[in-house]
């Protein structure tokens, strides 16, 4: 063991001498699984477990393998602390769950109540109030409040008045009074309040209101509470701004339908754009929490083992851990490349450079590379016509073929044949990829090319939801056509046609 875990578990190093691992792991360690796996495989790659000592709880991954130490056979057991990763994932999950409340209302009043209800439930708060700036810009008006504490205050507060709420609004940043009796800015309203936290609601148009939290406990808001509430307030601000636009649209439509048709359309488009952005952000958070967690955990665990036990590992085992790190770094780089590719296309357009290429050779090389990465895959290439001298963007062409084939491999059973057809006729290049994989549910096919979108039947198959977005952008840059046919459980066929010279 080392000096990292012992202080957390309140165990003295001297007390460990001559003791078994049971002193450290206790009932958290499944000895039957440990001994069975070691006997059968000679090692354990990952065994999740949780250690508890009083109020301290540590999430660990156990790694074990047979080795030689001091000329004696022994079992090397190491623990990797993944508490921070788990906490981070839990925080993302709480934010994700709370975000769902932002889609449950059809007007500003109901949305305000949904926001405070979501905060109280998902972030375990006893009180949450939301105040919005009125039309005059001089007062903050109470819109909603929730929580078992749920104090009742005046319905209107001057933005130029005293108190933490107007001060946070004016200064534009969160204010925290861990002990209101010691804070000169606090205006006593409820004698039972011991601490207060106020967050201004910022939008592109300025500050539109505040979130106010009060507690009967001194220092009632931890750093984690403050961080999560501040992050969620950004989403709540965007949702409120969207709903205010929506209400404005509805008002215009009801009172000035004929004369404000153009304005209504602009506001509706702005609302839809904001909603789409919020959905994309939510899907992005979900993707990051799932797809980045495993590579980072593997990198962390392998690096930790190399750092602590390099002198005890033979060269083969060192290379094994280094290769694991390199593979996961390559995977992370690939995901980052896809994110940047989609973002670049959506913000500044797709860079398009035409050159003469041998399309047949290019496709064959892509297939060769993919089969080296997935030896069990069976990809057949069918040629129709001669496409060894065509003009198109080679980089985008490779992205199209690579992403379609990668998806076919990913979502098809091992050893199931994948058919790639390349055809050329009358200045049109055709690429068709067919598989016998899981297919796409009919009700979800219209969303297939949406950024970060993944169908509900993918299960535990990893993925970012970016591949088909990249294909769509690359095809559109060529002024080409992209279509598909799919049946859930029977497979999918994608067809791309590109105009070429």
CA distances from 150 to 72, 120, 145, 165 (A): 66, 10, 6, 16
Collapse the DSSP code of 124 into the 3-class scheme (helix H, G, I; strand E, B; otherwise coil) and give the result: coil
Instruction: Find out whether 366 and 402 touch, Cβ atoms under 8 Å.
Output: yes
3-state secondary structure 432-501: EEECCCCCCCHHHHHHCCCCCCCCHHHCCCCCCCCHHHHHHHHHHHCCCEEEEEEECCCEEEEEEEEECC
pLDDT at 294: 57
Note the pLDDT of residue 1: 44
With a cut of 70, say whether residue 285 has pLDDT above it: no
Distances (CA, A) of 158 to 124, 129, 152, 163, 220: 29, 16, 17, 10, 26
| Contact of 488 with 440, CB cutoff 8 Å | yes
Q: pLDDT band at residue 304, thresholds of 50, 70 and 90?
A: confident
**Per-residue pLDDT, 71:** 81
User: Look-up: residue for tokens 């590109």?
Assistant: 498
Residue 88 tokens read as 């981070």
Burial group, residue 265, by CB count within 10 angstroms (0-12, 13-18, 19+): exposed
Q: Residue 95 and residue 189: Cα distance in Å, rounded? A: 31
CA distance 322 to 329: 11
pLDDT at 407 over 50: yes
| Alpha carbon distances (Å) from 430 to 124, 435, 439, 484, 499 | 56, 17, 22, 13, 9
Q: Are strands 139-146 and 128-133 parallel, antiparallel or unpaired?
A: antiparallel
User: Contact at 8 Å (CB) between 80 and 73?
Assistant: no
Query: Mean per-residue pLDDT for 286-309?
Result: 68
What integer is the mean pLDDT of 8-23? 60
Of the pLDDT bands very low, low, confident and very high (cuts 50, 70, 90), residue 2 is low
> Contact at 8 Å (CB) between 363 and 383?
no
Average pLDDT, the chain: 81
Is a pLDDT exceeding 60 seen at residue 23? no
Q: What residue ranges define each of the domains in the chain, with the CATH number in brackets?
A: 1-81 (3.30.450.20), 99-274 (3.30.450.40), 355-499 (3.30.565.10)
- How much is the pTM? 0.44
């Amino acid at each position: 063991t080392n000096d990292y875990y012992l202080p957390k578990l309140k165990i003295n190093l001297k007390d460990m001498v001559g003791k078994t691992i049971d002193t450290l792991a206790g009932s958290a360690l499944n000895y039957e699984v440990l001994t069975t796996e070691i006997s059968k495989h000679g090692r354990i790659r990952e065994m999740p477990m949780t250690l508890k000592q009083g109020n301290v709880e540590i999430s660990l991954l156990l790694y074990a393998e047979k080795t030689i130490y001091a000329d004696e056979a022994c079992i090397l057991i190491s623990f990797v602390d993944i508490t921070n990763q788990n906490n981070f994932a839990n925080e993302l999950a709480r934010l994700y769950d709370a975000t769902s409340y932002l889609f449950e209302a059809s007007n500003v009043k109901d949305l305000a109540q949904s926001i405070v209800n979501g905060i109280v439930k998902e972030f375990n708060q006893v009180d949450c109030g939301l105040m919005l700036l009125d039309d005059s810009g001089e007062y903050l008006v109470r819109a909603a409040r929730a929580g078992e504490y749920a104090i009742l205050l005046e319905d209107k507060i001057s933005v130029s008045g005293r108190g933490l709420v107007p001060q946070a609004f004016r200064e534009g940043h969160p204010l925290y009074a861990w002990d209101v009796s010691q804070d000169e800015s606090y205006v006593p309203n409820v004698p039972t309040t011991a601490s207060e936290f106020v967050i201004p609601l910022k939008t592109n148009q300025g500050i539109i209101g505040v979130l106010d939290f009060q507690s009967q406990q001194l220092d009632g808001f931890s750093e984690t509470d403050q961080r999560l509430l501040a992050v969620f307030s950004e989403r709540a601000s965007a949702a409120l701004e969207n709903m205010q636009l929506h209400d404005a649209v509805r008002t215009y439509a009801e009172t000035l339908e004929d004369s404000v048709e153009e304005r209504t359309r602009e506001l509706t488009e702005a609302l839809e754009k904001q909603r789409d952005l919020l959905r994309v952000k939510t899907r992005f958070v979900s993707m990051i929490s799932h797809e980045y967690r495993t590579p980072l955990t593997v990198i962390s665990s392998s690096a930790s083992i190399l750092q602590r036990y390099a002198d005890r590992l033979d060269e083969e085992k060192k290379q094994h851990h280094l290769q694991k790190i390199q593979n996961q770094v390559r995977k992370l780089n690939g995901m980052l490349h896809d994110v940047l590719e989609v973002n670049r296309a959506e913000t500044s357009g797709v860079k398009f450079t035409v050159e003469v290429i041998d399309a047949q050779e290019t496709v064959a090389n892509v297939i060769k590379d993919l089969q080296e990465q997935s030896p069990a895959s069976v990809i057949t290439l069918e040629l129709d016509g001669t496409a060894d001298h065509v003009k198109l963007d080679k980089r985008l062409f490779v992205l199209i073929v690579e992403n379609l084939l990668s998806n076919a491999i990913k979502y098809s059973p091992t050893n199931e044949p994948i058919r790639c057809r390349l055809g050329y006729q009358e200045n049109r290049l055709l690429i068709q990829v067919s598989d016998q994989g899981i297919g796409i549910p009919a009700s979800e096919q219209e969303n297939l090319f949406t950024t970060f979108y993944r169908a509900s039947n993918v299960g535990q198959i990893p993925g970012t939801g970016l591949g088909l977005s990249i294909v769509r952008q690359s095809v559109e840059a060529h002024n080409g056509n992209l279509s598909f046919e799919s049946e859930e459980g029977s497979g999918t066929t994608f067809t791309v046609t590109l105009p070429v010279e």
